[in-house]
C-alpha cells in the first residue's frame, strides 16, 4: 500500500486470499441492491472484493475498523453506473474513490480531501494497428509504432484520466489525448481542453499496467513511477 496524507493507492494482485466476511456483515441495503445488478458470479466476486478493500481503506482513514460505517454507491436513481459516492455514518464524505479490477487483481485509489482520482488495470490490451487507429490519436499512434508494448500504459492512462477528470461524461477513449508522460507526471487534453498536469502512480506486470492519476498538488510527494521506456513520450 502507498500512503500520503491525502491519497492512497492499494493494488492487490491476487484477491482470492483476502479475509472477507460474508457480505451481510459489511454491506448496506443500498449496496446490496447495487450488487444485485450483477448476475455473473465472477463479476459479483470482483465487485465485492474491490468494495471490501475500498471500505476498509476509508474506515481505517477514520481510525475505525467497522466497515458498516462506510457506504459506497455508484448507481444513479435509474440504475446507470456513476462515479462512486462515499458516505460515512450516513453523511456525504470528502473521500473520493476509484476502483478497477481484472481477473483476480484489484486496484483502488482513494483521496481524503475531495481531490478527484482515477485508477485502471489495463490488462491484455491489443497491440495491433487496427485497434491503435480506432482509439489513439496520431501522436499516440506514432509513439505506439515505436513501442507497441506501451499500449497498456497509454490505455490505462486514458481510462484513469477520464475517471478522474471526466465529470460523469460518456466514456470515449479518443476524448483523452496523452500529450506527454515522464516520471511522475502526465500532460493531456480532455475533449480538446488541455488539463493541468496530473500526478501518476504506475506499476507494470506481464499482463499489463496498473495506473492511478490525480490532480497534482504542491505538497504531494508521490512514489516514483517505474518508467519502462528508453525515453519519455
pLDDT of residue 103: 93
Q: Pull the grid cell for residue 164.
A: 478522474
Q: Which residue's entry shows cell 513501442?
A: 147
Domains of the chain: 2-114 (3.90.470.20), 119-215 (3.90.470)
- Sign, Cα dihedral of 182, 185, 191, 195: negative
pLDDT higher than threshold 50 for residue 49 = yes
Q: What is the tens place of the pLDDT at every residue in 148-160?
A: 989 999 999 999 9
Q: What is the tens place of the pLDDT at every residue in 77-113?
A: 777 888 899 999 999 999 999 999 999 999 999 999 8
- Kindly list the distances between the CA atom of residue 182 and the CA atoms of 65, 149, 156, in Å, as whole numbers in the listed order: 38, 16, 15
**Better pLDDT: 76 or 87:** 87
**Better pLDDT: 223 or 111:** 111
Structural contact between residues 89 and 126, judged by C-beta atoms closer than 8 angstroms: no
Which pLDDT band, with edges at 50, 70 and 90, does 215 fall under?
Answer: confident
Which pLDDT band, with edges at 50, 70 and 90, does 39 fall under?
Answer: very high
pLDDT of residue 5: 54
Cα 225 to Cα 233: distance, rounded to the nearest angstrom: 14
Amino acid at each position: 500500500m502507498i500512503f500520503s496524507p491525502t491519497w492512497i493507492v492499494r493494488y492487490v494482485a491476487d484477491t482470492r486470499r483476502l479475509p472477507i466476511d460474508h457480505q451481510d456483515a459489511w454491506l448496506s441495503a443500498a449496496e446490496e441492491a447495487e450488487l444485485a445488478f450483477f448476475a455473473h458470479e465472477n463479476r459479483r466476486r470482483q465487485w465485492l472484493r474491490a468494495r471490501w478493500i475500498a471500505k476498509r481503506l476509508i474506515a481505517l482513514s477514520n481510525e475505525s475498523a467497522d466497515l458498516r460505517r462506510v457506504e459506497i454507491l455508484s448507481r444513479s436513481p435509474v440504475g446507470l453506473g456513476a462515479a462512486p459516492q462515499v458516505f460515512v455514518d450516513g453523511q456525504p464524505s470528502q473521500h473520493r474513490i476509484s476502483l478497477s479490477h481484472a481477473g483476480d487483481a484489484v486496484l483502488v485509489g482513494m483521496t481524503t480531501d475531495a481531490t478527484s482520482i482515477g485508477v485502471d488495470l489495463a490488462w491484455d490490451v491489443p497491440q495491433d494497428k487496427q485497434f491503435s487507429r480506432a482509439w489513439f490519436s496520431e501522436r499516440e499512434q506514432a509513439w505506439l509504432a515505436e513501442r507497441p508494448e506501451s499500449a497498456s500504459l497509454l490505455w490505462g492512462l486514458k481510462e484513469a484520466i477520464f475517471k478522474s477528470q471526466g465529470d460523469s461524461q460518456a466514456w470515449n477513449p479518443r476524448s483523452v489525448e496523452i500529450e506527454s508522460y515522464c516520471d511522475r507526471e502526465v500532460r493531456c487534453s480532455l475533449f480538446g481542453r488541455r488539463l493541468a498536469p496530473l500526478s501518476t502512480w504506475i506499476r507494470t506486470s506481464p499482463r499489463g499496467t496498473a495506473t492511478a492519476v490525480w490532480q497534482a498538488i504542491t505538497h504531494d510527494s508521490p512514489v516514483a513511477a517505474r518508467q519502462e521506456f528508453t525515453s519519455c513520450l
